């Protein structure tokens, strides 16, 4: 078995049903479990290890001599982390719902996690919808009757639909109540993908020996500072830990200076939007009404004591997820501080030096928004 073998909530649903002869889905669960275990071994050995290589080669080719982007890892480690995130979301939702995750839904979601980024091995562009190429190539590893459902869940985790733009879920013309609830599974995958960040996603051996783009520096710093997330009922709790190397990071992209806190603020905005977007389509089984964010600034590099800890709440509203106000305007705790940017919580004199963000309009992030999207 691979070092990344899945042992969490979703696979346990399959395993228990496969072992319980009295379970109503016993026969199906046996097939799902056996097929997934075979797929898992094959993908961790022959697919995921080459995704990051493919991404790097494609970026080097399109950089045309400029310093190229070095993505956070999208291979074995990311898939393993993503499945753990899906376990968290699925377990909490099942515990709060009258209709827990079914064995078929667990199988679809686990397989979708494995294929959603696999097409990156060729190129980044269009990889969500191109994951069908991977399913076709390895079709013997999938339950044939579930292939379309796996593809539908995986293809809407990002990108743009030709008719609906970024509203990719709209292309899933399915029932949101009757299992398999593809919209619910798609919401788990999309949001789980956004929340599966940690220091291990930074390809440190590459970074240590090669120059990387300023965009990559920001993305790597963000991955390092993402500590954890938890879903409790309808509340999402996220903790960030900022060390001096991230705190002091500032880059210039297209003649615009961007601090790490600028980037962190925009990434929190992305989580806000994705939470609202996924909640709209995943109701009634899944809904996030509030995001609690904790940002801890440490005195020195790891290990270190906390110097400043800032906690704030974002209450999610309804409708299309456009952000008409800045992060600091939407959080009551930050509004009371009368600050305009997150950086002001952690930098002396930042109020006079950090530009005010204009969310939803062209500003310092116009050049990096494409890089933020999964």
Q: Would you list the domain boundaries of the chain?
A: 1-212, 214-374
Q: How far is CA 23 from CA 12, 16, 98, 143, in A?
A: 14, 9, 18, 20
Q: Which of 165, 371, 372 is nearest to 268 (CA)?
A: 372
Per-residue confidence (pLDDT) for residue 364, from 0 to 100: 44
Can you read off the two tokens belonging to residue 323? 């952000």
Tell me how far apart the alpha carbons of residues 22 and 11 are, in angstroms, rounded to a whole number. Answer: 18
Per-residue confidence (pLDDT) for residue 374, from 0 to 100: 43
User: Are 344 and 354 spatial neighbours (Cβ–Cβ below 8 Å)?
Assistant: yes
Per-residue confidence (pLDDT) for residue 56, from 0 to 100: 87
Give the neighbor-by-neighbor strand order of the sheet with 306-315: 226-232, 235-242, 290-298, 306-315
Q: Which of 254, 245, 255 is nearest to 218 (CA)?
A: 245
Q: pLDDT band at residue 145, thresholds of 50, 70 and 90? A: very high
Span of 46-55, 121-130, 191-200, 283-292 with lowest mean pLDDT: 121-130
Can you read off the two tokens belonging to residue 326? 């800045």
Mean pLDDT value across the chain: 89
Tell me how far apart the alpha carbons of residues 39 and 151 are, in angstroms, rounded to a whole number. Answer: 15
The residue with greater pLDDT, 217 or 68, is 217
Per-residue confidence (pLDDT) for residue 122, from 0 to 100: 86
| φ, ψ dihedrals at 161, nearest 5° | -90, 140
Crossing angle of the two packed helices 76-96 and 26-46, in degrees rounded to 10: 150
Q: How far is CA 35 from CA 9, 41, 131, in A?
A: 17, 10, 18
The residue with greater pLDDT, 153 or 96, is 153
Tell me how far apart the alpha carbons of residues 1 and 195 are, in angstroms, rounded to a whole number. Answer: 26
Tell me how far apart the alpha carbons of residues 259 and 251 are, in angstroms, rounded to a whole number. Answer: 6
**What spatial distance separates the first Cα and last Cα of the chain, rounded to whole Å?**
29
Beta bridge partners of 228: 239
- 250-253 and 235-242 beta bridge pairing: unpaired
Crossing angle of the two packed helices 260-282 and 214-225, in degrees rounded to 10: 70
* Rounded mean pLDDT, 193-198: 96
Per-residue confidence (pLDDT) for residue 247, from 0 to 100: 97
User: Are 357 and 326 spatial neighbours (Cβ–Cβ below 8 Å)?
Assistant: yes
Cβ count within 10 A of residue 361 = 8
Q: Say whether pLDDT at 130 is over 70.
A: yes
Q: Which of 110, 107, 105 is nearest to 4 (CA)?
A: 110
Beta bridge partners of 232: 235
Residue with tokens 């297209």: 254
| Element at 135 (helix H, strand E) | helix 131-137
Q: pLDDT band at residue 365, thresholds of 50, 70 and 90? A: very low
């Amino acid at each position: 078995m691979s070092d990344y073998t899945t042992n969490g909530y979703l696979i346990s649903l399959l395993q228990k049903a496969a072992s319980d002869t009295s379970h109503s889905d016993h026969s199906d669960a046996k097939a799902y479990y056996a097929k997934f275990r075979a797929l898992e071994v094959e993908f961790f050995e022959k697919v995921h290890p080459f995704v990051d290589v493919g991404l790097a080669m494609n970026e080097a080719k399109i950089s045309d001599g400029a310093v190229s982007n070095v993505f956070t890892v999208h291979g074995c480690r990311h898939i393993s982390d993503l499945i753990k995130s899906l376990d968290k979301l699925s377990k909490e939702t099942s515990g709060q719902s009258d209709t827990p995750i079914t064995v078929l839904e667990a199988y679809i979601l686990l397989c979708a996690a494995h294929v959603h980024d696999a097409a990156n091995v060729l190129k980044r562009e269009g990889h969500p919808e191109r994951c069908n190429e991977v399913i076709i190539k390895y079709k013997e590893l999938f339950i044939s009757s579930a292939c379309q459902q796996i593809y539908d869940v995986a293809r809407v985790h990002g990108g743009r639909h030709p008719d609906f733009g970024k509203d990719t879920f709209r292309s899933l013309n399915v029932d949101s109540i009757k299992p398999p609830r593809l919209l619910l599974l798609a919401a788990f995958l999309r949001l789980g993908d956004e929340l599966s960040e940690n220091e291990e996603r930074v390809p440190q051996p590459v970074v240590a020996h090669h120059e990387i783009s300023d965009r990559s520096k920001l993305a790597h710093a963000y991955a390092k500072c993402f500590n954890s997330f938890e879903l409790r009922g309808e509340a999402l709790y996220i903790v960030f830990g900022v060390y001096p190397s991230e705190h002091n990071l500032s880059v210039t992209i297209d003649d615009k200076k961007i601090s790490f806190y600028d980037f962190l603020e925009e990434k929190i905005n992305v989580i806000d939007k994705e939470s609202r977007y996924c909640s709209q389509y995943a109701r009634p089984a899944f809904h996030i009404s509030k995001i609690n964010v904790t940002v801890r600034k440490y005195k020195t590099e790891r290990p270190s004591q906390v110097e400043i800890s800032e906690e704030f709440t974002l209450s999610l509203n309804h409708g299309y997820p456009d952000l008409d106000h800045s992060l600091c305007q939407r959080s009551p705790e930050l509004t009371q501080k009368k600050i305009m940017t997150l950086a002001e919580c952690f930098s002396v004199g930042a109020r006079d030096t950090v530009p005010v963000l204009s969310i939803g309009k062209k500003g310092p992030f116009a050049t990096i928004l494409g890089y933020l999207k999964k």
